[in-house]
Copies of this chain bind each other. A is one copy, B any other.
């Protein structure tokens, strides 16, 4: 790894350092390799540790480094392409690879109630699902289904758990799906989602909110939390677009 001195560069030091470090990752490190410790790295590049940390944070944001407790900072594998927007509209559970984990009756959060057009006191079924890709947890979802969307459900005697979750999904599938839309935004992992995703609470995540329309109204709302460090969300038929924002990465 080089020892470029950064004193004379007009742009923010951490920014230039990030570029230099990124090039070193490309040329000298392999995926999974542990980086030298912060003190050594800072000394080698002739920067303060605060500057080094900023650069490492940048590279973490870009998915090039992973910080893992008890391991240290490692070179991250390329992000996984995870299909989010299916080519065809489909109900949750019909064609996707999510695993239903649980289902409870609950009062919807205010923002979800607004999307569903119901009151916050009106109980909804909250189906919790998880998605695993390449052996790793990539997303956690809460799917909110108003009782009115699955009127036949009360007749089914499954009190909770995956069986109940599957029953809600099955009943939902009986409705004619008229359309769906989505929004993606940056968020921080809630404690329960973080645990499911093997992250610390507050880690950056990509929140995907999907509305499912049937019978002229919003029949269900999904709030899915994707790991932002390992996932690239894909939309459309062709699936796997990979870009490193101008940098080539060595995935050896």
Contact surface of A with B, Cβ cutoff 8 Å: 11-12, 14-15, 18, 54, 57-58, 61-63, 79, 81, 84-85, 109-112, 114-115, 179-188, 190-191, 200-202, 204, 206-207, 209-211, 213, 221, 223, 228-229, 231-249
> When the two chains form their complex, are residues B245 and A81 in contact, meaning their CB atoms are under 8 A apart?
no
Contacts of A114 in B (CB 8 A): 242, 248
Which residues on the B side are within 8 Å of A249 (C-beta)? 111
What's the least CB distance linking A137 to chain B, in Å? 17
Q: How many copies of this chain? A: 2
Query: Would B238 and A211 count as touching, CB distance under 8 A?
Result: yes
B109 near A236 (CB under 8 angstroms)? Answer: no
A201 with B234: CB separation less than 8 A: no
**Besides the known contacts A61-B188, A183-B242, 19 further A-B residue pairs in the complex with CB atoms under 8 A apart:** A61-B202, A62-B186, A62-B187, A63-B185, A63-B186, A63-B187, A81-B183, A109-B246, A110-B244, A111-B243, A111-B246, A111-B249, A115-B243, A182-B235, A182-B241, A183-B240, A184-B235, A185-B231, A223-B243
User: Please, which residues of chain B bring their CB within 8 A of the CB of A242?
Assistant: 111, 114-115, 183
